[in-house]
Structure 1
Amino acid sequence: MKKTFSLLCISIIAVFTSSVIAQHVVKSPDKNLSVKIWLGPAGNAVYSIHNKKVTVLEESKLGLVRNDENFSANLSFVSASPVYPVSERYELLTSKSRLNEYHANKQVFRLRSQKGQLLDIIFQVSNDGVAFRYFFPESSGEIKKISEELTSFNFKADATAWLQPMSDAKTGWEKVHPSYEEYYQQNIPVGTPSPIKAGWVYPALFKTGKNWVLITETFPNGDYCGTRLKAESPGGEYKVGFPQPEEVFPGGALNPESKSPWYSPWRIITVGSLKAITESTLGTDLAAPAAVKLDAAVIKPGKSSWSWAILKDNSILYDVQKRFIDYAADMRWEYCLIDVNWDTRIGYDKIKELADYAKTKNVGLILWYNSAGSWNSTPYHPKSALLTHEQRVREFKRIQDIGIKGIKVDFFGGDGQSMMNYYIDILKDAAAHNLLVNCHGSTLPRGLQRTYPNLVSMEAIKGFEFATFEQANQDVQPGHCTILPFTRNAFDPMDYTPMVLHEIPNIKRKTSNGFELALPILFLSGVQHLAETPEGMKQVPEYVKDHLRNLPAYWDEVKFIEGFPGKSVVIARRSGSKWYVAGINGQASESRMDLDLSFLKKYRGTIITDGDAPFSFEQRPIAASRKTSLRVKPAGGFVMVFNEK
């Protein structure tokens, strides 16, 4: 009996010791954030994340299932590379910061499948998050296919989430979904199923204890699909899901397939406070560097006038567009967007006249296109003009010769691998003709703007246009807008098309003018399409017009001041030596904000906020201090501008 007990104790000690030896830890440069990686009892790879010794993600799964091999179980450990530092510096005009630095510690873990095939899992840990991706290192001319990715993100049961449901493919108006245009579910318990079977979109925001977590991915390099989180998350464990069968370019691939060597996109997990989330650039830090070379004069961010937002289809007329060009020139905005059906309502010859006229006003024209082939039934045109390389070259050369500066491409068909490749094909061919690109009815950028700097924005949000369609959409705008800097717009440019300062036909506005004026600063977009019309702009004071005339085209630095998703947000952005502080109150009651603006105490400030009358403004000097107190009206907001003394 004693001998049996002794052998049992030795066996238990051996298993425990083996488990400890098999566990690897990668830490951030500041040593606060760490990820642990090990093999479970079934030979399955798992990981967990900890911030200052507090568990952020509990034991979560790693692994893939390929058509020729299962890399999710019966794995054996081969090797772990040394931990070595990764440093990078890059410039990006469509980011929250123009100059960005990334520093992380990297380690590669090599595993062997039951059949002897190799899989690397590459981890990089920075001070603000954890990133990992898969790599098949062995060369093969045979196309392999991945049927499932086992990656999961396992939260404690008391965590909560801010998540946007993924719309089902080929649903909605003219079967245009999925287009990332659902409202966020706010502060829901983890494990709450998505109301739509397609799942949840990235970026996905969670709160666990004192830590916030934002999950997203990088854009695939032509050999993977876009993913999302599955609809079901039992026990708070969220799993990576693949697109629905309909989400393909006709005849193209749905799920990941490629020859090897073969990398997956990065899985990105930003960790820390709300300040860490809103100031992080991980979404572009991990994105692939620029794949095309473009003259700096081509990559020109800015603001744009746009008639369709308020005036809709009937505004696409020669005389109306000429008026909006004059409007852009008067406001010193760089662009004017001409939307749907311009090819027949105005025509190419007249578009050239408008482009020539706009050039004399120092305004560039952007033209709308319907990307769709057979995947939806949208009637707007030009349609099916960009489906092949030959079509794109012919069309892009034609409009480049006319003098067009960019295109807005609408109504894409989902996140299948072939559809994701369609975005890349458009961007490559547009870059070859010096054209900027903005995508609507689209997927999430996932850092694609770094790889293709001519991508200035993507919609992928339930934006302002919905607030012009139905009163119910207008009614939820105050809270909806406060979520976006923490989620959709955290890393990627977002063409929300903000700011109306006067009337919306047949709609009762819920947001104040101060609220609306703050949005072009709070929201990031390489080209910011502003919804207000020339007639509406005539109703505002000259100091508001001057503010909008001088609004920077890009930002050098960002600082989170305060906020909570669904309630309020205040963010400071620097352009050159000037600071802008913008804030909105998304609640139905007045909010008292005590803002720490002590970093601006050597600056001279002015605030534009809501006046006493409805939809009016007030301007006054303001001093920056450790406790700058404001009373912000329900659904109200403000903009402060600080200059050096």
Structure 2
Amino acid sequence: VQTSLQMKTADGLYINLHEAALVDYSCMHLNLDDKNLIFESWLTPDAKGDKGYMQAPCRSPWRTVIVSDDARDILASKLTLNLNEPCAYEDVSWIKPVKYIGVWWEMISGKSSWAYTDDVYSVKLGETDYSKTKPNGRHAANNDNVKRYIDFASLHGFDQVLVEGWNEGWEDWFGHSKDYVFDFVTPYPDFDLKMLNAYAKAKGVKLMMHHETSASARNYERHLDTAYQFMVDNGYDAVKSGYVGNIIPRGEHHYGQWMNDHYLYAVKKAADYKICVNAHEAVRPTGLCRTYPNLIGNESARGTEYEAFAGNKPFHTTLLPFTRLIGGPMDYTPGIFDTKLSFLQGDHSFVRTTLAKQLALYVTMYSPLQMAADFPENYERHLDAFQFIKDVALDWDDSKYLEAEPGDYITVARKAKGTDNWFVGGITDENPRTSTFALDFLEPGKQYVATLYEDGKDADFEKNPTSYQIKKGIVTAKTRISAKLARSGGFALSLIEATPADRKIIKKWK
């Protein structure tokens, strides 16, 4: 069993098992002794089968147990973070929250391609004459398409645009015909890196780098300094890294001591260049973002991309805050509005939520790194709902867990950092429900403009996922809110301090 493991006893006691400060050690799983019903620590072995190598003086990770008779206490616990060392950097002014869009969902959903050509055998890294290859016509990371995303990001106030598939090597990136695939500096012929970065800068936007390593960690380490310097030279300050595949050196595992050392090495090396890291397919976090805050995000669990494969279950995001997010923020990549993936032909998977639930995830799934993952044209069809994604904060001064039951539902209120504005998100599993809560966390005596985005009366994640309604009114700390959630539905609520002009034209909440 992978940790963080969330359990509940028959008499209502919530028990969470995990580890903290996983440094220079193998990741712990839990092996269940079926006969005696006991969990024992199971450490990921290396290529030789050894659990790890230690040299005194040394320190092993903490084993954590969080227990409460109220599920909200599990979510509110800071135990995992606090068992990590304080921040290792004197200057953290370069580490900033990021709201981004990206050329990503096109490839994940099957609409477009990472690779420039389908002719695998004619491509050799750094030596390919692309004038002699045939473009597949589906390569998403091309100049015109990236410009389109940059324009959309600039128009709507996003910080960065992630572009995957920009660099040579994707034709055989997972084939492992060799121990290296990418050099992290060579763009495809239809991706003008310098022009696009200049174009983005002129629009007030930055491009986010992407490094897919195809799990060839040795190759990545050889290129790290060059790759990070290349980022600095071209205006990048954040990178999404990926580790899909079998680890090279051969026989090592994603969660073994060798790879855990690698993940941290990449983060610490990135800090030398003032670069933030969002690592995908890496080991699930254990609070290390306290010590190394440029580890701004991780995947390390089934994110939105699985909605385009076999699909995540409706309860999935009601459970993740109790499991994966116990160790640190997750780059879940929410915000899919076309949940039926209508641009695809034939039978395919779909996103098992309503549109309103996608909005709520920006609050329930904590991360200072949040992506609006869908295509620009899908947001343009629902700009009134898209407004919440534009408004919602990334960093918080306070969080209140209003309702919670693992695997069933969660309602969270968060206070935007440095303001008196609050945002609330609520989600449910496959069962519809009504969420009712007081706004007593607001400052007494102040008035706020409340904007509620909730499921429509006929909303259903299978039959009518894009049905939603928006309600607005003036509220105070004495107001109670009631929101109806459809099957696998949700709601999002913004609470913005009211101005004198607001109080004149917006009616009191009813």
Corresponding residue number in structure 2 for 1:585 = 428
Match of 2:370 among 513, 525, 528: 528
Alignment of 1:124-523 (within 5 A): 200-208=1-9, 209-222=11-24, 224-246=25-47, 255-272=51-68, 273-296=70-93, 298-312=94-108, 313=113, 314-343=139-168, 346=188, 350-372=192-214, 385-388=219-222, 391-411=223-243, 413-470=253-310, 473-474=311-312, 476=313, 478-503=314-339, 504=341, 505=344, 506-523=348-365
CA–CA separation in structure 1 for the residues paired with 2:278 and 2:351: 27
CA–CA separation in structure 2 for the residues paired with 1:356 and 1:218: 41
Corresponding residue number in structure 2 for 1:549 = 390
CA–CA separation in structure 2 for the residues paired with 1:424 and 1:464: 25
Shift of 1:294: 4.0
CA–CA separation in structure 2 for the residues paired with 1:254 and 1:330: 54
Corresponding residue number in structure 2 for 1:643 = 496
Shift of 1:603: 4.4
The answer to whether structure 1 residue 620 and structure 2 residue 422 are counterparts is no
Shift of 1:352: 2.1
**In structure 2, the residue corresponding to 1:256 is in which secondary structure?**
coil
Asked whether the equivalents of residues 302 and 552 of structure 1 are also in contact (C-alpha less than 8 Å), the reply is no
Larger strand proportion of the pair:
1
Asked whether the equivalents of residues 502 and 539 of structure 1 are also in contact (C-alpha less than 8 Å), the reply is no
**In structure 1, the residue corresponding to 2:221 is in which secondary structure?**
coil
CA–CA separation in structure 1 for the residues paired with 2:430 and 2:389: 26
Corresponding residue number in structure 1 for 2:120 = none
Question: Is the deviation greater in 323-332 or in 514-523?
Answer: 323-332
- One-letter code aligned to 2:203: K
Asked whether the equivalents of residues 20 and 80 of structure 2 are also in contact (C-alpha less than 8 Å), the reply is yes
Shift of 1:347: 5.7
Q: CA RMSD in A?
A: 2.4
CA–CA separation in structure 2 for the residues paired with 1:638 and 1:625: 20
Asked whether the equivalents of residues 409 and 428 of structure 2 are also in contact (C-alpha less than 8 Å), the reply is yes
Stretches of structure 2 that go unaligned for 5 or more consecutive residues are 114-138, 169-185, 248-252, 459-463, 499-510
- One-letter code aligned to 1:485: P
Shift of 1:373: 5.1
Relative to the length of structure 1, the TM-score reads: 0.62
Stretches of structure 1 that go unaligned for 5 or more consecutive residues are 1-199, 376-383
Distance 1:599 1:526, change over 3 A: closer
CA–CA separation in structure 2 for the residues paired with 1:256 and 1:488: 24
Relative to the length of structure 2, the TM-score reads: 0.77
Shift of 1:278: 0.9
Larger radius of gyration: 1
CA–CA separation in structure 1 for the residues paired with 2:317 and 2:274: 33
Corresponding residue number in structure 2 for 1:567 = 408
- One-letter code aligned to 2:321: P
- One-letter code aligned to 1:386: Y
CA–CA separation in structure 1 for the residues paired with 2:319 and 2:307: 16
CA–CA separation in structure 1 for the residues paired with 2:276 and 2:494: 30
Question: Is the deviation greater in 414-423 or in 334-343?
Answer: 334-343
**In structure 1, the residue corresponding to 2:356 is in which secondary structure?**
helix
Asked whether the equivalents of residues 87 and 293 of structure 2 are also in contact (C-alpha less than 8 Å), the reply is yes
**In structure 2, the residue corresponding to 1:235 is in which secondary structure?**
coil
Shift of 1:293: 4.0
Asked whether the equivalents of residues 340 and 369 of structure 1 are also in contact (C-alpha less than 8 Å), the reply is no
CA–CA separation in structure 1 for the residues paired with 2:34 and 2:240: 36
Shift of 1:231: 4.3
Question: Is the deviation greater in 455-464 or in 334-343?
Answer: 334-343
CA–CA separation in structure 2 for the residues paired with 1:234 and 1:497: 40
Distance 1:444 1:287, change over 3 A: same
Shift of 1:550: 2.0
Report how many aligned residue pairs link the two structures.
423
CA–CA separation in structure 2 for the residues paired with 1:293 and 1:432: 12
Question: Is the deviation greater in 211-220 or in 552-561?
Answer: 211-220
CA–CA separation in structure 2 for the residues paired with 1:373 and 1:593: 43
CA–CA separation in structure 2 for the residues paired with 1:235 and 1:206: 17
Asked whether the equivalents of residues 318 and 346 of structure 1 are also in contact (C-alpha less than 8 Å), the reply is no
Asked whether the equivalents of residues 308 and 316 of structure 1 are also in contact (C-alpha less than 8 Å), the reply is no
Shift of 1:345: 5.8
Shift of 1:254: 5.1
CA–CA separation in structure 2 for the residues paired with 1:277 and 1:342: 42
Distance 1:631 1:234, change over 3 A: same
CA–CA separation in structure 1 for the residues paired with 2:87 and 2:289: 9
Asked whether the equivalents of residues 99 and 370 of structure 2 are also in contact (C-alpha less than 8 Å), the reply is yes
Identity of aligned residues (%): 27
CA–CA separation in structure 1 for the residues paired with 2:79 and 2:255: 22
Shift of 1:629: 2.9
1:111-153 CA distance string (max 9 Å, x none): xxxxxxxxxxxxxxxxxxxxxxxxxxxxxxxxxxxxxxxxxxx
Distance 1:347 1:369, change over 3 A: farther
CA–CA separation in structure 2 for the residues paired with 1:562 and 1:372: 40
CA–CA separation in structure 2 for the residues paired with 1:630 and 1:373: 44
1:526-577 CA distance string (max 9 Å, x none): 31122111111111033x3332222212111111111212211111111121
- One-letter code aligned to 1:328: A
CA–CA separation in structure 1 for the residues paired with 2:41 and 2:307: 32
CA–CA separation in structure 1 for the residues paired with 2:275 and 2:405: 38
1:346-400 CA distance string (max 9 Å, x none): 369822221122122222222211234558xxxxxxxx65223xx2112211221
Corresponding residue number in structure 2 for 1:539 = 381
**In structure 2, the residue corresponding to 1:631 is in which secondary structure?**
strand
Asked whether the equivalents of residues 21 and 83 of structure 2 are also in contact (C-alpha less than 8 Å), the reply is no
CA–CA separation in structure 1 for the residues paired with 2:33 and 2:145: 49
**In structure 2, the residue corresponding to 1:362 is in which secondary structure?**
coil
CA–CA separation in structure 2 for the residues paired with 1:598 and 1:361: 41
Q: Give the structure, 1 or 2, with the largest relative contact order (CA under 8 Å, sep 6 or more).
A: 2
Shift of 1:636: 1.3
CA–CA separation in structure 1 for the residues paired with 2:305 and 2:19: 27
Shift of 1:444: 0.8
- One-letter code aligned to 1:577: D
CA–CA separation in structure 1 for the residues paired with 2:41 and 2:301: 21
Shift of 1:587: 2.0
